[in-house]
Amino acid sequence: MILNLTDLSEEPLQSQIYRQIRAMVLNGEINSGTILPSIRGLAREQKVSVITVQRGYEMLEREGLIISKRGKGFFVTDVNSSQKKQLAEQRLIEKLTPVIKIARDEGMSNLEIKNIINKLLAGEQ
């Protein structure tokens, strides 16, 4: 499994593991039923601690994206397209809400915020 982990990021390694595997599941890069690398195997491959991988997997498991089968490993659960969309929307709302609050606190109107978002979506900056 190819993950791009870096110690230079402010994001903890366990969160990087969670975010990257989550993205692969939601965008269909990893299909349901796929077995993930063992915790020890991924830790060895990525040169991180077993606890780091375990915490990343636990985050995925809490969200219902993977399931642990005792003695067999971790498997990607069956997440249909509407569930994938809902999970992605929830994450977007979770991330945008504090940013929008800050923009409003700094005096920006909803229209100004929307215009900036539209520019970003169009690739303008």
Cα 81 from Cα 103, distance rounded (Å): 32
Query: What is the pTM for the complete model shown?
Result: 0.77
Pick from 96, 79, 92, 68: nearest CA to 26: 79
16 neighbors 37 (Cβ within 8 angstroms):
no
Q: What's the chain's Rg over C-alpha atoms? A: 18
Per-residue pLDDT of the chain (125 residues; tens, 9 = 90+): 789 999 999 999 999 999 999 999 999 899 999 999 999 999 999 999 999 999 999 999 999 999 999 999 999 999 888 888 888 898 899 999 999 999 999 999 999 999 999 999 998 76
3-state helix, strand, coil in the chain (%, to 5): 60, 5, 35
Cα 35 from Cα 41, distance rounded (Å): 12
